[in-house]
Structure 1
Amino acid sequence: MNRRKFVKASVALSTLGGLSGISGLLSNQVWAADGIADGTAKKFSFDKLKAHAKQMASSSWSGAPGALPATLANLTPQAYNNIQYDAKHSLWANVPHRKLDVQFFHVGMGFKRPIRMFSIDTASQDAREIHFRPELFNYHDANVDVKQLQGKTDLGFAGFRAFKAPELARRDIVAFLGASYFRAVDDTFQYGLSARGVAVNTLTQHEEFPDFTAFWFETPKADATTFVVYALLDGASLTGAYKFTIACEDKRTVMKIENSLYARKDIEQLGIAPMTSMFSCGTNERRMCNTYHPQIHDSDRLAMWTGKGEWICRPLNNPRQLSFNDFTDENPKGFGLLQLNHDFNDYQDVIGWYDKRPSLWVEPVGSWGKGAINLMEIPTTGETLDNVVCFWQPATALKAGSEASFAYNLYWSALPPVESNLSRVVATRTGMGGFPEGWAPGEHFPDTWCRRFAVDFTGAELKDAAPKGIEPVITVSSGTFKQVEILYVEPTNTYRILFDWYPNSDSTTPVNMRMFLRTKDQTLSETWLYQYFPPAADQRQYVDDRKMTAGN
């Protein structure tokens, strides 16, 4: 998959997008008396940006970026990381008592697209360009020949990152880097999954990665913890204008996003509010946990709050083969890739700190109409590759010459901003089944192969209903289920639903499972969705330990 090469080691290798035709919003270089913005002042507005993006869509795409100077093109990841922005030249260094600041990433290595940056005076709405110049950076031990960079103001930048007091210039909280990828943190300061401006033809052989090619920053007030940045998107099949209102709160980061998209070509699959994450192994999928870590993942589930009000939990998989699922909906209330387990003991990782990684929740603004939440899961053998993709696909395709606008909020936080009063799925576990707990298959029990599933639900919401009788409502797309049990797990104050799934054929087609809890006509829990991949027929057998010998 090209995607896996694209995101390897967090290097989003951008091969699409362009900067042609935006001279109407840019300006010639003239040194400014203060700040790092050295361009001539020119009026800016979001409406002008949208008009310009629309105009660009009527012309052909300029293609991939040109070659970088050799001293930058051949950088190793270690050398690239040694290039650091000089905090004395940060965007808002001249704002007294500031609580926010912005620094820029250097182009180099796989980051070839020159991105242009502009500073907006909020009072006058005058925008000045910030041109690249080597003195904005400290090159340390990167072994960059700075002489090759002198006078190359068109090199631009690779992206930007934002800081918030009291961690100004030390720990960033928002980063835009590579194509249209961006990330944010909560109060742990630990990055995790990524978002993107748009997804184009993700599930086809012709996936595209449009670029953010220019950013405009409104200068915030000194005491502000919210800033506004505008972005121009450009790609082979579409252009776009974006407005990000980014609130850097104490416990979370919230982004209000407005966009307008303009199609150059017919787009087979348009993805809105896309996000990418990593799931290697967890409580339900142990196949790739050949490591001392109990679990390895940035996110453990896809959560959905449907337009009809149903709450759904879909645990993530690291499948043996590429897997795609779409969940049809109309006017969804929210969805996201969540990391809800924040117990260090369940990860034991002091490098990735998976227990600190944030969840990402999408809150649509307005009516999104009919469509589907798409989920793609890619097999992966490690933790350096994003292998989970999720986004909203509108039912109406975006045709050449047409346009579409969407508004939504992104919440980067430990927990999503909304929750139901229903019992929530805590964990999903699987293992061999067909016999009582504490026993093993053998002469006293049938040795027919089956798979056991244990799904834990939070218990506080179920205790009052327990005397009335908790009923698991289970459906499977193939095979049958038996041995259903309901257990109260006192140490964790949860209720565990056990059932065994028996195949009715040798098929390895994925089995879709669905379960929720109720008592009489009252729904007690969110809906658990799961996709199980049965092994091949010759692998459906148990090993009888009594037949093993020392020689084996």
Structure 2
Amino acid sequence: MPSRRDLLASLLAAPAALTLTRSAIAQPSPLQAAAAAVSDGQPISRDALLAFAREVSRVPYQAPRADVPRALTQLNLDQYRQIRMKPDLRIWAGENRGFTLDLLPTGSVFTNPVTIRTVDGGIIRDKRFAGDQYDFGQVPPLPPEAAVPYSGFRAYTSLNGEAPVDEALVFQGASLFRSLAKGQVFGVMARGLTLNVAEAQGEEYPAFRQFWIERPGPGASAIVVHALLDTDSVTGLYRFAVRPGDATVCDVEATLFPRVDLQHVGIAPMTANYLFAPNDRTGVDDVRGGVHDAQGLQIWNGNGEWIWRPVTNPETLQVAAFVDQNPRGFGLLQRDRRFEAFNDLDARFERRPSVWIEPLGEWGQGQVQLVEIPVNDEMNRNILAYWRPRTPLARGAEHFFTYRMHWCWSPPERPAFAYVSSTRTGRAQGGGRRRRFLVDFTSEDFADPAKAAGLRANLTNQRGRIGNVDGRLVPELRLYRVAFDLDPETGNQVELRLVLEREGQAQSETWLYRWTP
């Protein structure tokens, strides 16, 4: 009889292994029984999915094994991306469900297998690879009978037209997923969970191992995905309800079952690439004005303060923590939507989504954490933001988080007063390490000088020395510019804070900035 550890590996790795019978196993374990309840031919049940995740968490983690054909593992990314399901053979094609699915085989860098099931008429159905369903492009096709594990899926819908031909949702690679809104191109990516980011013991990477995708009703505008996440330290069950549109909204329910006390866990994490922008062009020799998925981190904290923190590509790893209680929202935003700000006809950075996290319910004490990693190319995702609970998530307990993700052009909520529209830095007069800063605040009220009367810039610094501060209204541009010089003196890190005030009351969001050499 197989060991419990070997049996768990087979349950997580292969759909066929989940079809267990009493003739094969005389006395099924709790895990085997729970697995059977969420496998092929069974009715979908949230309670059954939770029970399965709970039982998975009660045994030691075993990474799934997969036999990926050598012909696929040797493909580069460009070759691999040629392999797609034929449009008329995608899941639900021609059924007027509002969505179709392209199931993605393992191959190239995507070698971690996942189990994919659909839920048709409330009944779970396994999905298995069939080579004749795929267009291989210039890649030599596999035989129809080839056994190939899946690595994820794409969901298509009618974002920009009537037919479901637009990619709206992709799950592939560890716990990564991404979405976008009408007219956008893919940019910021989300993760299901992060563990021990930037810690000395090294980061642990959870992964989605199994999916149950509910077949939408006729003409549906939303799709529901259930996912099992697993890794050494924790098992999780997720439910995603995704509604694509002018802004794509994704409601997330996450139930976590830790195997150990989780000291550093990231909830609702998102990641972006950032190479340079007008506030960070040191050593840049590039025809483009900026290269990034997101310009900064915005936070609407539990006290009602709006914070804008431009991100940077630092020389050394930087971690910033914004302590809060019951945050109202946070996200990585792409604020500049002008083509000329980037001048890239291929990447189209101006069309990349902002991602805004709206906690549903109280999340208690913790911090929004921002991680900035130095990179020298635009392919690496070096910006990471997430919520870190103050209290560790206890082993053996169940922890529930719900939040709403907005993949959008701008968040559904925004400050009622002036917001930061631009941050620029450059060398200041006087030489040395002195830097000149230009921070522009924008508001429709700034078109009327009378409405901007009495404004003053409240600028503070933790280290270094500030000089040549100048606040100036520009009515024709609807902005208020604050210019100043920073002399870091002997410091290698200076924290800056700037807010427009009138009679001691904030009239803008709070600009925060960390200068490093």
Given the two structures, how large is their TM-score scaled by the length of structure 2? 0.90
Mapping for residues 131-142 of structure 1, pairs under 5 Å: 131-142=128-139
Q: Does 1:82 align with 2:73?
A: no
Q: Deviations over 1:215-260 (max 9, x none)?
A: 11111111211111111111111111111110012x1211000010
Secondary structure of the 1:174 match is strand
Which position in structure 1 is the counterpart of 2:317? 322
Task: Tell me which amino acid in the other structure corresponds to 2:63.
Answer: G
Give CA deviations for 1:465-508 in whole Å, capped at 9, x if unaligned.
Answer: 6664211111111012121111223553211001112234x232
Distance 2:72 2:432 in 1: 61
Structure 1 position 458, deviation (Å): 0.5
The CA deviation at 1:448 is 7.2
Q: State the match for 1:514 in structure 2.
A: 497
AA of the residue aligned to 1:523: A
In the other structure, the counterpart of 2:100 is 101
- Following superposition of structure 1 onto structure 2, how do residues 140-539 of structure 1 map, counting pairs within 5 Å? 140-144=137-141, 146-147=142-143, 150=145, 152=147, 155-165=148-158, 166=161, 168=163, 170-204=165-199, 205-249=201-245, 251-287=246-282, 289-434=284-429, 450-462=434-446, 463=448, 468-504=453-489, 506-508=490-492, 510-534=493-517
Residues 252 and 26 of structure 1: is their aligned pair in 2 closer, same or farther, counting only changes over 3 Å?
farther
Contact 2:373–2:382 under 8 Å retained in 1: yes
Secondary structure of the 1:498 match is strand
Is the Cα contact below 8 Å between 2:173 and 2:207 reproduced in 1?
A: yes
Superposition misfits of 4+ residues, deviation over 6 angstroms: 22-25
Unmatched 5+ stretches in structure 1: 1-16, 30-38, 435-440, 442-446, 535-552
Residue 545 (structure 1) aligns with:
none
CA shift for structure 1 position 106: 1.4
Deviation at 1:28, TM superposition (A): 7.3
Report the RMSD for the aligned CA atoms in angstroms.
Answer: 2.2
Is the 8 Å Cα contact of residues 100 and 168 (structure 1) preserved in structure 2?
no
Q: 1 CA distance for matches of 2:184 and 2:18?
A: 34
State the 1:151 CA deviation: 5.0
Shift of 1:364: 0.2
CA distance, structure 1, for counterparts of residue 185 and residue 129 of structure 2: 29
Counterpart Cα distance in 2 of 1:24 and 1:140: 29
Q: CA deviation at 1:206?
A: 2.2
- Aligned counterparts of 1:66 and 1:89: Cα–Cα separation in 2: 25
2:11 to 20, 35, 49: 20
Contact 2:11-2:17 at 8 Å conserved across structures = no
CA distance in 1, matches of 2:328, 2:177: 23
The one-letter amino acid of 1:127's match is I
| 3-state SS in 2 of match to 1:43 | coil
- Alpha carbons 1:289, 1:295 under 8 Å: kept: no
SS at match of 2:218: coil
Q: Do the aligned partners of 2:98 and 2:164 also contact (CA within 8 Å) in 1?
A: no
User: How far apart in 2 are the matches of 1:481 and 1:292?
Assistant: 32
Extract unaligned runs of 5+ from structure 2. Answer: 1-7, 22-38
Q: Distance in 2 between matches of 1:170 and 1:94?
A: 12
Deviation at 1:460, TM superposition (A): 2.3
Mapped partners of 1:121, 1:379: distance in 2: 46
Question: Taking structure 1 as the reference length, what is the TM-score of the superposition?
Answer: 0.84
